[in-house]
Structure 1
Amino acid sequence: MVVDSLTLNPLSGVTILGEKGYAISDRNGQFNLQIKKTQVFQVSHIGYARFKVRVPHTQSTTLFIKLKPSSTELDEVSVHGKTKERTVRETATVSVSIDEEFLHANRENSLIQTLSKIPGVGSMTIGSGQSKPTIRGLGFNRVSVIQNGIKHEAQQWGSDHGLEIDQYGLEDIRIIKGPASLMYGSDAIAGVVDILPQKVPGKNSFGGDVNLLGETNNDLWAVSAGLQSRKDKWYYRTRLTYRDYADFRVPTDKINYENYIFDLHENHLRNTAGREANFSVSIGRVGENFKFETVVSNVNAKNGFFANAHGLEVRSSNIDYDNSNRDVDLPYHKVNHFKVTHNATMYLGNHKLQLDLGYQNNHREEHSEPVPHGYMPKPPNSRERIFTKNTYTVNAKSLFKKNGGHTISVGLNSEFQNNNIGGWGYLIPAYDRFTIGGYFFDHFELNKNLHLQGGLRYDFGMLKINEHYDWFQTPRDNGDGSTFDIFLQRATNSTLDFGSYSGSLGLSYISGNTTYKFNVGKSFRMLLAHELASDGVNYHMYRYERGSLTLNPESSYQMDVDVSHSGNGYSFGVSPFINFFDNYIYLNPTSDYVETLQVYEYTQAKVFRTGGEVNAGVDVTANLHIYASAEYVFSRQNSGPKEGFTIPFSPPLIGMLSAQYLLGDFGMFKELNLKADLRAAAAQNEIVPPENMTDGYQVVNLALLGTLNLFDEQLPALLKVKLNNIFNTEYYDHTSFYRLIDVPEAGRNLSVSLTINF
């Protein structure tokens, strides 16, 4: 058995390696060795000093190994480093590290819904299988999602577009709250969800896992299987995931949309079923002073949209939406996201060189029932919109330590996007976008516990918008009573360029078990094609959207403070922030109408924001732990047509109370934990017209987690039984896409998941 020498807690993932034998400890710190002669084994683990132990060749020998925490080794290369916890404490930015255990214990229908358990992180849900992240009330292209060092690029500008990332097989995620554009680029103006590369497998190892999941609310079943192996230097990984689900249920039998009442058959939100099939494969190599890995992945999904969300035409549709709760009828979308990433790192003493390359192809089709609108005749097919986006990314970074406590980081990020469009419905133009940015960052260790950080960045971007004409003719008045027909031009050929500086300065002070952080920074976000040149009907929102070429890039100024403390059996933290946008961009409703649809125009305003998060945890007894958190954001427009109002999708005051009790072992079930969560939100009366206010709500969830020995006592299976919304509460999440059309969140849901490791 392997334990921490200070806490005596079991250590999982410890490598015990000998000349002709090896083992890896399980989550209980246990391992099994079969040897034919006496050997010396080297015991190693990230964040701990290497340890050598002589194992005699006897019929049965029990080993009890204590590893001492150390900051002299990192991974399997000879480079000086620090433990993850210590590195986070020394960093001035407000960040949260998520590990594999948290992901398993809190896994929901999508990755972002899983991460929404973190204070300050929200999920903009679209149906039962899709969501996108928000950080402190900001989302869309203001939050960068990074995977394997490459920014995930899809059609994330749309409120009804989810995130095409398989949440299975992920190990470590870092969430940065607040501006992080210094190292991640201009789209990280609100924060970052950084999905870190998986750990390198141990030498001469082979293993994998099978995840099984079933849910009652939408009759979901899912399976995900992963495999990894390594000999000496080379290793590989692979994973397959499939999900299939029916229409999800809501705690109401009627929906009121545009003063029309829609009856729901057996509480099913019709046409929200879907399917998802994902795969990934990677190959890597570890040397004495380098490592690299190439990952190829593909996410393919087909999801239905709640039929009534596309306007009132569904009343006259011939589609029988209630015939089956598993079929996907019109309207629906299908998306395929293909991604290739290559990460290479070289260690040269105190110098670290890193190169990240990426290619992504995002193909998205949105299908709607072909019906005439205005002067547009009935389309020939259901392909309303087609987006094909190719993204090429090159990131280079050099990090080196200098005498005097300086750790210098210099980096370059570049990206090229080519986005083509198709279909009979126009909303955004085809475009090419090129961005490049460079930064200089210095982490200065004034002494062991006092750290100063600061850096500068410059970004340049160029956006080329392609012209677009309607495929049908529209009559126009000559002025003398006669008319003529023309193909209306929706977008003109335009080339725009943007450039700006960003910077930050922060301080981190560690005093025993207390950490103090202070950070100020300026960041900016480049304009996107839909903000500049959209000019069409968004049927998912049943409105007409129009961009403006006169908009300016967003600039944001923010100050963050973070104080955290961990004691013997308790912890607490507080993270307030102040934020100012001098030109925040959003869609503003106007008094104009096109084809009976209200026109929304992209506009800018000065916006002041403040808020933060608090959290506290305590071990009431040896078996009972209680955790509480709260988050709040206040926003106010200080200029523009909605001066005095908040901004769209502003979350209300939200609190979370969680209690976890260790039940112990019961027969074949081991380490059973019972967990209860109460999520409470205040009413959101601070809105910007035409948003509607939302009432407060309280939702209770229960979960039972544990292990059981199915095939291998050294690798027990992980079991989770979860009951969400146990009282089938009808409530509205103010940041939900469907909230805009009076659709409540999902009702009661029982889920059972089993993870079998081998």
Structure 2
Amino acid sequence: MINAKTLQPIEGANVIGKGLFSISTSEGTFTVKNVDQGIHSLTISHIGYSAETATIEVGPTMDTVKIYLRESATELQEVEVNAKTKKRETQERAIVSQTVSKDFLDKNRENSLMQTLKNIPGVSTINIGSGQSKPVIRGLGFNRVVVVQNGIKHEAQQWGNDHGLEIDQYGVETVKIIKGPASLQYGSDAIAGVVDIQALKLPIQNSMKGEVNLLGENNNDLLGVSAGIDARTNKWFYRGRLTYRDHGDYKVPTDKINYENYIFELDDNNLRNTAGQEADASFGIGFISNNLKSETTFSNVNAKNGFFANAHGLEVRTSNIDYDSSNRDLDLPYHKVNHFKITNNTSLGIGNHTLYLDLGYQNNHREELSEPVPHGYMPTPPDNKERIFDKNTYALNVKDSHSPNARHDIVAGVNLEYQNNNIGGWGFLIPAYNRFTIGAFAYDNFEIHRDLHLLGGLRYDYGLLNSQSYFDWYPSTRNNNDGSTSYIYLQRAQNTTLDFGNISASVGLSFIYNNTTYKVNLGKSFRMPLANELASDGVNYHMYRYERGNLDLDPESSYQLDLDIDHSNASFSFGVSPFVNLFENFIYLNPTSNYYETLQIYEYTQSKVFRAGGEIRASATILQNLELNASTEYVYSRQTSGAKEGFTLPFSPPLSGLFSANYQFKNFLPFKKPQLIADYRITASQEEIVPPEEKTEGFQVLNMSFISKIDVFSSDAPVDIRVKLNNVFNTKYYNHTSFYRLIDVPEPGRNLSISLTIPF
């Protein structure tokens, strides 16, 4: 394909024939595979050129065919452009948010999606082993952060400290992170923020492409493969992905662990029984026309992960299991989880209205297995199934986006969700329950003038929780006043019905001045108490404590003021995002002075909490090839009432800074666009704790990466290669927000990973 005037190759020209399609490369060439012999007619078109038709005879011997396209121009009387870029839309909304691109995800990919996102200022994780983690935004996590995928809230057993997030990160292209209250649009649990996994981009017409991702790591001997494909005809499109990962125990830079004054020796630095497996599959089918777009997605995530044997109480001291026989064995205790999800996302344009409909069904089936060990009056359990959770969630979101004129962007909607959570196993912790929530909202993004926008909205939520009674499966002994003894089945939970309702509101301003955006937002949000906070009454052996709920808990109410200043130009950017947050009745698990069969009793209670902090970020490009980035984040928390008045909150992240340098070299040997990246994280000590937490010393960790493209099969589709070395100096350090921090387990040691992305 050649420009008839300049004789230069033309990139991006469409080549279309009967059942044939291709796009020209930067060299102007195109390839059509699996073409039958004979005469074929091809139409070649490109914006700015007159279309040409070429007749080509395909046979055993063929000559090179040159096709010349002539430039063409169409004179238009008047052109009016109304669309806005994604960046401009984000600037105009007074919400502190950040969009994470596919390029960032590929460069920073770790063992889970949330660990990949931890380099975003204000985002951290609660880690559970080597492949599981849950999000923390500005020091708040669990059910205070909503994770959304395909417009539907991801609902699992995220209330548990040791429960990870069941999402295949290889099927993720873009993530939007909202910092601060987002209950206005997302509902009750978004009191701290949102991780919104955006819909995948549409494939281009008459195309098919895919990729294979290969991953290997030496710290835990991980081997992983993921293959994805998408295709589109004219109006129909399809997607599919399969992922499998298998890893052994991960290594830590120590040979012994001190837990409850017991010293556990580690074999070859392996954190015994932390091996795991994961198998994921997804398929999507969609249809698009001028005013209608609809896609249905099926996905299933299946994982089996071991728990560090010595973390599950202290029974391992008397266990007959040889945990050190192999670093790939999955022995007791371990968990199995399967998350099945169906979603449908439909949008319909009618005049200046756009209707959005999201439907979702999820089943989360989780089994926690451990050795059957008797406790107190409990005899030896009949099997290994300590706890079973089976949760079904049905969701419906309806939203209307309406622009009556160029100055208003009005959105109104309704969210409905129904949860049915059943339990099993011999270890009771939370009761079976049903939960129904409904919320209605409306907001308007009003253009005062081109660079000044006002965002205001209101929402009302109502929720109904019905928890079921539960009796122990074994009798306990009770001494009566008359000196006799009774054997009774203790009741751990009652049939209870509770309802909650509250208002959320938000108002904010966004002002754009040249290259700087100023935002201020004041929001009020709330969160309904969960079943574990209201009605738990049992032993949590993962934490080796007795947990008791409180039916008198009120919904959490939060008021937050957010500011954001962001300046950017071609070579430099700077941003600062401070916040102030007040909780009227923060819910937390409080250790008491009471004991149940030698186990300390923890009770859910509430207190007033004051929080403040924020993030600072900067980026500069030097000499075109060197990019420097720096960010820092800090959260201050203080309970101002209640039993722990004067203390901070659990899992509060310390002051932390991340400095990175990215240098792009010139092409050399087979490497195209090679980049060398260094990340240096400095984290201060965490002296502010809530017992039984322990103070955590500060640390410094260096990670290095090499990223490049290699023309292996074709220059049109180079292979992406990434070599990453985490914890370069094998530093022994503790992450204060790690689940295993409570039992003196440090973070993983040095880890070399190699990944390949092979397009086809």
Please give the alpha-carbon distance, in whole angstroms, between the structure 2 residues aligned to 1:706 and 1:196: 26
Partner of 1:290: 292
Q: Is the 8 A contact 1:106 1:114 kept in 2?
A: yes
Letter in structure 2 aligned against 1:667: L
The Cα shift of 1:272 comes to 0.2
Aligned counterpart for 1:646 among listed residues 635, 645, 648: 648
Q: Is the 8 A contact 1:136 1:633 kept in 2?
A: yes
Q: Is the 8 A contact 2:50 2:72 kept in 1?
A: no
Q: Is the 8 A contact 1:587 1:601 kept in 2?
A: yes
Please give the alpha-carbon distance, in whole angstroms, between the structure 1 residues aligned to 2:42 and 2:366: 60
Map 1:128-147 to 2 at 5 A. 128-147=130-149
Partner of 1:738: 740
Map 1:295-694 to 2 at 5 A. 295-403=297-405, 405-694=407-696
Deviations 1:636-662 (A, max 9, x none): 000000001101000000000000001
Instruction: Flag the 1:223–1:501 CA change in 2: closer, same or farther, 3 A.
Output: same
Please give the alpha-carbon distance, in whole angstroms, between the structure 1 residues aligned to 2:257 and 2:495: 43
The Cα shift of 1:42 comes to 4.7
Please give the alpha-carbon distance, in whole angstroms, between the structure 1 residues aligned to 2:81 and 2:466: 44
The Cα shift of 1:85 comes to 1.2
Please give the alpha-carbon distance, in whole angstroms, between the structure 2 residues aligned to 1:352 and 1:615: 36
Over alpha carbons, which structure has the higher Rg?
Answer: 2
The Cα shift of 1:24 comes to 5.5
The Cα shift of 1:52 comes to 5.6
The Cα shift of 1:59 comes to 3.0
Please give the alpha-carbon distance, in whole angstroms, between the structure 2 residues aligned to 1:56 and 1:299: 48
Paired residue secondary structure (1:266): helix
Deviations 1:513-538 (A, max 9, x none): 11111100000001110000000000
Partner of 1:41: 45
Letter in structure 2 aligned against 1:59: V
Instruction: Flag the 1:243–1:34 CA change in 2: closer, same or farther, 3 A.
Output: closer
The Cα shift of 1:707 comes to 0.4
Letter in structure 1 aligned against 2:591: P
The Cα shift of 1:88 comes to 1.1
Partner of 1:8: none
Please give the alpha-carbon distance, in whole angstroms, between the structure 1 residues aligned to 2:734 and 2:720: 33
Letter in structure 2 aligned against 1:453: L
Paired residue secondary structure (2:667): strand
Instruction: Flag the 1:15–1:60 CA change in 2: closer, same or farther, 3 A.
Output: closer
Partner of 2:197: 195
Please give the alpha-carbon distance, in whole angstroms, between the structure 2 residues aligned to 1:312 and 1:597: 12
Please give the alpha-carbon distance, in whole angstroms, between the structure 2 residues aligned to 1:40 and 1:219: 50
Q: Is the 8 A contact 2:17 2:41 kept in 1?
A: no
Q: Percent identity?
A: 62
Instruction: Flag the 1:276–1:654 CA change in 2: closer, same or farther, 3 A.
Output: same
Letter in structure 1 aligned against 2:236: W
Bigger shift: residues 166-175 or 496-505 = 166-175
Q: Determine if the alignment matches structure 1 residue 59 to structure 2 residue 56.
A: no
The Cα shift of 1:701 comes to 0.1
RMSD: 2.3
The Cα shift of 1:663 comes to 1.5
Deviations 1:573-592 (A, max 9, x none): 00000000000011110001
Please give the alpha-carbon distance, in whole angstroms, between the structure 2 residues aligned to 1:160 and 1:63: 62
Deviations 1:76-122 (A, max 9, x none): xx996421111111111000101111111110000000011100001
Deviations 1:413-437 (A, max 9, x none): 0000000000000000000000000
Bigger shift: residues 443-452 or 155-164 = 443-452
Q: Is the 8 A contact 2:688 2:695 kept in 1?
A: yes
Letter in structure 1 aligned against 2:105: L
Letter in structure 2 aligned against 1:755: T
Aligned counterpart for 2:177 among listed residues 162, 175, 178: 175
Q: Is the 8 A contact 1:15 1:22 kept in 2?
A: no
Letter in structure 1 aligned against 2:292: F
Paired residue secondary structure (1:402): coil
Please give the alpha-carbon distance, in whole angstroms, between the structure 2 residues aligned to 1:346 and 1:215: 45
Deviations 1:697-724 (A, max 9, x none): 0000000001011112111111000000
The Cα shift of 1:480 comes to 2.0
The Cα shift of 1:39 comes to 4.5
Letter in structure 2 aligned against 1:301: A
Q: Is the 8 A contact 2:15 2:42 kept in 1?
A: no
Partner of 1:161: 163
Please give the alpha-carbon distance, in whole angstroms, between the structure 1 residues aligned to 2:378 and 2:70: 77
The Cα shift of 1:672 comes to 0.4
Q: Determine if the alignment matches structure 1 residue 213 to structure 2 residue 208.
A: no
Letter in structure 1 aligned against 2:45: F
Please give the alpha-carbon distance, in whole angstroms, between the structure 2 residues aligned to 1:670 and 1:304: 40
Paired residue secondary structure (2:742): helix
Paired residue secondary structure (2:529): coil
Please give the alpha-carbon distance, in whole angstroms, between the structure 1 residues aligned to 2:679 and 2:572: 19
Q: Is the 8 A contact 2:24 2:30 kept in 1?
A: no
Paired residue secondary structure (2:756): strand
Calculate the TM-score normalised by the size of structure 2.
0.93
Partner of 1:243: 245
Q: Is the 8 A contact 2:339 2:363 kept in 1?
A: yes
Letter in structure 2 aligned against 1:636: R
Q: Is the 8 A contact 2:658 2:681 kept in 1?
A: yes
Mind listing any 5+ residue stretches in structure 1 that lack a counterpart? 3-10, 44-50
Paired residue secondary structure (1:103): helix
Letter in structure 1 aligned against 2:527: R
Q: Is the 8 A contact 1:40 1:52 kept in 2?
A: no
Please give the alpha-carbon distance, in whole angstroms, between the structure 1 residues aligned to 2:143 and 2:31: 53
Please give the alpha-carbon distance, in whole angstroms, between the structure 2 residues aligned to 1:197 and 1:80: 23
The Cα shift of 1:169 comes to 2.3
Deviations 1:342-400 (A, max 9, x none): 00011123210010000000000000100100000000100000000000000000001
Aligned counterpart for 1:233 among listed residues 232, 235, 243: 235
The Cα shift of 1:63 comes to 8.8
Letter in structure 2 aligned against 1:499: G
Q: Is the 8 A contact 1:461 1:497 kept in 2?
A: yes
Please give the alpha-carbon distance, in whole angstroms, between the structure 2 residues aligned to 1:65 and 1:493: 76
Instruction: Flag the 1:149–1:25 CA change in 2: closer, same or farther, 3 A.
Output: farther
Instruction: Flag the 1:15–1:440 CA change in 2: closer, same or farther, 3 A.
Output: farther
Letter in structure 2 aligned against 1:41: S
Deviations 1:731-757 (A, max 9, x none): 111111000110000000000000001
Paired residue secondary structure (1:116): helix
Please give the alpha-carbon distance, in whole angstroms, between the structure 1 residues aligned to 2:194 and 2:636: 21
Paired residue secondary structure (1:649): coil
Q: Is the 8 A contact 2:706 2:724 kept in 1?
A: yes
Map 1:79-98 to 2 at 5 A. 81-98=83-100
Paired residue secondary structure (1:188): coil
The Cα shift of 1:18 comes to 5.5
Deviations 1:551-584 (A, max 9, x none): 1000000010000111231111000000000000
Letter in structure 2 aligned against 1:203: Q
Please give the alpha-carbon distance, in whole angstroms, between the structure 2 residues aligned to 1:535 and 1:354: 41
Please give the alpha-carbon distance, in whole angstroms, between the structure 1 residues aligned to 2:378 and 2:608: 38
Please give the alpha-carbon distance, in whole angstroms, between the structure 1 residues aligned to 2:31 and 2:713: 18
Please give the alpha-carbon distance, in whole angstroms, between the structure 1 residues aligned to 2:351 and 2:108: 40
List structure 1 runs of 4+ shifted beyond 4 angstroms: 14-26, 29-32, 34-40, 51-58, 61-67
Q: Is the 8 A contact 2:184 2:459 kept in 1?
A: yes
